[in-house]
Structures are given as C-alpha cells and as structure tokens.
Chain A
Amino acid sequence: MLSRTALKISFIILALTMAAFLIQKTLQQDFPGNYPKFAAPVNANFEFAGQHIRIGVPSELNDLRVFVFAYDSRGHMQAVVKAVEDGTIEVSEGDFSDIDVGFSQGNQIAGFEILKRMDSYTRQVDMAKALREANENGRQIGIQRCLYPVCTRCIDGCRSVIYGGDLPLEMRKSEDGAIVPVYSKGKCPRCGKCFVWCPVNVITTSGSLVGK
C-alpha cells in the first residue's frame, strides 16, 4: 500500500518536472538561415612603458572581454582574458596567462590548456614579460576578439547540422597570429547557428540568402 502511494507521489513529481520543462520559453530558437559575416581583425596599438603595457583598441570593443596574446619561443600562444575599458587594455606585471594554445602543421590548432584553475595556476606565465619578449624577438602579439579555443559555440552549431568532419567553418591561425574562423561558402547550409550562437559577435548575419 505504502509503495503504491510512494509511486503515485513520484509520478506526480515527475509529471510536474516534465510540465515545467516543456513550458520553458527557450526550448526553441529561431535560426534565420542567412550566410554568416565575419568581424575584421582588431587593430591594436601597443605601448610598452615601465611595468605596464597599454594597448589601444577601437572603442567598439568597450566592455567586451578579449584575448591579449603573445607567442612564445615554442610557437605556442599565451593569452590572457582582459576587459576593454575606454578603448584601452592594460597588461601589468603579475597578469598571468590564462591559456596555452599549441599548433600543428603551422596554422592548425592542436590543443590548449587552461592555466588558471579556480584559486591557482597550473603554470605561471607572466603576460607582460611574454608580450615584451615576443615583441623584441619579432614574434606575434595582438588582440583576439574571438574566444576560440575556449569558446567553440560556432563549431558546435556547425557540427550539429553537418554530418561527418568536413565542416564549412573551421578555426585557423591567421597571419597576424590571432585565431580566426575560416569559412567555405560552398559547403555552408545557411543554418545560421554560428552567428546566432556566437557570444562575442565575431560572426554575425550577412542578412543575405546569397552571400555578400
């Protein structure tokens, strides 16, 4: 008798949970079905002065979080997440790298490691020092607006509609060292997931069904 009552209560709780799940507004998203458009690379002006490095960036990036990156002697990218305030970013001594990105075959991303783990760093790489060394040795430094490889929302969206590994969208290291989306229009099914899901507006809609 008791087990039957318990079963009924469990069933009611399950039914209530399912009902609450089904009435949620965000179950469905609209995907417009246009071709994507990609943001231009960020033009950054680095000023090396004393302990601080001041980086001037376009004011359209205000309040966004971007990667400040420098390449080390192994060809790995060291990057720290920084907020843009009043068109500037400051990197000081004691700002440690948040991620270490490795590459294979030149511009293909082989893997990455998050160096900051809650309260501590698995490895401390001083970004101010890394930026200075890279600048002095002619290695690439810069600002990356796209948060790949930490964020893979566009690739996840693409992979959810394309069967197999031949995606129209992939991430490559560009000539200036930043990781950027590379897109093959012929393969794109215009699902729109890449720009609907991109949280930093690096990929936006072209507003066009034929592509611009």
Chain B
Amino acid sequence: MKWSPVKFNVAIMGILAVFLITIVANALASRQPWVLFCYKCKACDSSCILGIDPQGFVDAALAGDPRVYIYATNVRLRLSKAAAIDPNMVIVTDGGKVTARAALNELRIDPATEIVTYQVQARNAAQFCVRCGACERSCVLGLPLLRAINQLRDQKAPEVKVSHAQ
C-alpha cells in the first residue's frame, strides 16, 4: 500500500492529537487542569528562596507522576536525611553533582555533613517547600501553584535506610 502525503499528514496529526489528549487527561486526572495554561515563561523560577523550579510542579501534574525530578538548588539538609528521603536525589558536593547514595557509599562523605540539593523528586520538593507563595506572586498568569504543592505534600514517599554498609 502506497501512502499519499495527505494520509501521512493525517496519521502524524492523529499521533499528535493523542499525545495532546494524554496531556489534558493527565492534567484533569491530577485535578490540576490549570497547569495546561502554564507556558513556561520562567518568571517564577528566580523567586524561590530554596531554588526550587516551580515549573517542576506543573510538569509533575502534566505527567501525572509525583516522582518527576525537578530542580531544587538551595535546600540544605544532612546527607543522612537526604539519602533516607531519596537515595537517588542529586546533591552538590565538592566533587560536583552526585546522588546521595553515591556520596555515602562511593565518596564516603560523613552522613552528618550538611549538603545542598540539586535535583529532587517533585513530591520531596513539595515537602521542602516553605509555601511562602513567592512563585504564585511572580506568575504572570496568577496560576495557583500552591494547590499543586499542597497536593504533592500529601503524596510523601516513605523514607528508606541507606548507610555506609550498604
């Protein structure tokens, strides 16, 4: 069967339509339909004192997955706690950016050391968030970002035990 350019275009448009419908369905399923209106202008990302990129919360709602990794570049906490929250969390050390598990097991950094996070899961970023509302105030569309954050806070992951021995 030989495909005409029109049929090919229709097929491509069909695939795109399915993709867009999936995004809309995820936004509706996560009960945050307003995320569809975010056009990633980046006005909010310089407003967070904890360096959290609020667009990550929008992405988590669009993907319907609270485990999406988002930027959180200024959250200070102990390494042991970071590893317990999420061993795959990316943190900043003197040697660069590594996971919390690698910092403990390979770099042998003292678990009591205070580290700064770099990339964390959206649900963990929501736990770190101080809910000051600075992202909402800086949003040019006035999108209710705190709603998504509060919803993600309820989806907290159980802590895991990671130590030097593992």
Contact = CB atoms under 8 A, between A and B. Distances in A.
Given A24-B147, A114-B46, A118-B53, A153 B36 contact: no
A147 B74 contact: no
A169 interface: no
Contacts of B49: 81, 98-99, 114, 116, 147, 150
B50 interface: yes
B107 interface: no
B33 interface: yes
A151 B134 contact: yes
B28 interface: yes
B53 A20 contact: no
B33 A17 contact: yes
A interface residue count range (under 10 / 10 to 19 / 20 to 34 / 35 or more): 20 to 34
Interface in B43-88: 45-47, 49-51, 53, 71, 73-74, 76-78, 81
10 contacts: A13-B24, A16-B28, A20-B28, A65-B50, A81-B50, A85-B78, A116-B49, A152-B132, A153-B132, A199-B131
Interface of B: 24, 28, 31, 33-34, 36, 45-47, 49-51, 53, 71, 73-74, 76-78, 81, 114, 130-134, 137, 147, 150
Given A83-B77, A118-B73, 16 more contacts: A17-B28, A17-B33, A26-B150, A81-B76, A83-B76, A85-B77, A116-B74, A118-B45, A118-B46, A118-B51, A118-B53, A118-B71, A150-B49, A151-B130, A151-B134, A152-B137
